[in-house]
Amino acid sequence: MSAPLETAMPGALETTTRAASETAMPGALETTTRAASETAMPGALETTTRAASETATPGALETAMRGAGRPRLVPYVTGGITADWTRYLLACQAGGADAVELGLPFSDPMLDGVTIQRASDQALARGATVEKILTDLTSVRDQLTVPVVVMTYANLVVHAGATAFCRRLAAAGVTGLIVPDLPVDELGELEPAAARSGIDLVLLVAPSTPAARIRQICARSRGFVYAVSTMGPTGERDTLDGRAVVLAANARDAGGPPVLIGFGVSTPAQAARAAGAADGVVVASALVREVLDGATPERLRQVVAGFRAALDATRLRGTTSR
């Protein structure tokens, strides 16, 4: 019979292993790694992130978003969707928007769902171009009291050149820009070009974004941080993805500008729930569907006002935003 576990003596192999463990000196690789860890300097990306965070000042969009004093509401309108599309822009403002997101239609979208794609197709079929949309926007500039944030894809920015594109946006009265297919690692040319033109560059975080990267994105985003609620294209959904609440909380903890949840915010009730975790919402497909179905600008104003009322009720319950 073998000895009880409590009294068993170590064998020759265990004795040798213990001795080696207690006396072993770190090898060359371990020594180098320890030294590097203790004295490591920040990399280029971290240095850039810190510098951007410490020196950048909020632009007009971020100033408006920080000073809203209520849960933020940013409705989306597709530029050129109808001949009188700017009336929808003004209707969103009249309905209680804190800013309006203006989509520049693009033929090869990467994340637009069916509704936004239909709207873009309709606008492009009407002959909408970036220049025509910005000219239309300029014509109502004096009537707009809320910031306009353009959303488009990198192709259009690169085609025009970052500097020329941002200058053209600024000339039309735009104060914010969202380029969802341009990652934070590739902002080298656009970020300073936007800053020089007074354009706040809004960056996105998603449920798959690691914590360290969320901090980088929040430090460099201007205007607001766009928290994508779900891993999928834009579009209306029956329920708000629970990951959106966690993502918004993590992004808020990271610091930076206000955090707004977008993608799938389809009803006033969902907007109210999202505002309980974030600083506001972006509503797109639910509004664009109304326009595609023939809603008048007055009807769209009423729909936006419904989202406004739900968000304000959330604030009154005490779930205020920063």
256: closest CA among 223, 232, 281, 278?
A: 223
310, 268 Cβ separation under 8 angstroms? yes
279, 226 Cβ separation under 8 angstroms? no
Burial classification of residue 89, based on how many CB atoms lie within 10 Å of its CB (0-12 exposed, 13-18 middle, 19 or more buried): buried
Token code pair at residue 148:
């306009």
Residue type, 141: R
Beta strand pairing call for 176-178 and 200-205: parallel
Distance CA 182, CA 178 (A): 9
How would DSSP label each residue in 70-95?
S-EEEEEEETTSSTTHHHHHHHHHHT
Non-local CB neighbours of 176 within 8 Å, separated by 6+ positions:
59, 61, 99, 147, 148, 149, 150, 199, 200, 201, 202, 222, 223
Non-local CB neighbours of 1 within 8 Å, separated by 6+ positions:
none
- Catalytic residue, chosen from 62, 112, 200, 279, is 112
Q: What angle do CA 145, 148, 153 make, to 5 degrees?
A: 175
Active site residue 101: yes
Question: What backbone phi and psi angles, to 5 degrees, belong to 100?
Answer: -125, 135
How would DSSP label each residue in 130-179?
HHHHHHHHHHTGGG--S-EEEE--HHHHHHH-HHHHHHHHHHTT--EEE-
- Catalytic residue, chosen from 62, 98, 101, 200, is 101
Active site residue 279: no
Token code pair at residue 214:
């969320």
Residue type, 312: D
Token code pair at residue 225:
């941080």
Which positions are catalytic? 101, 112
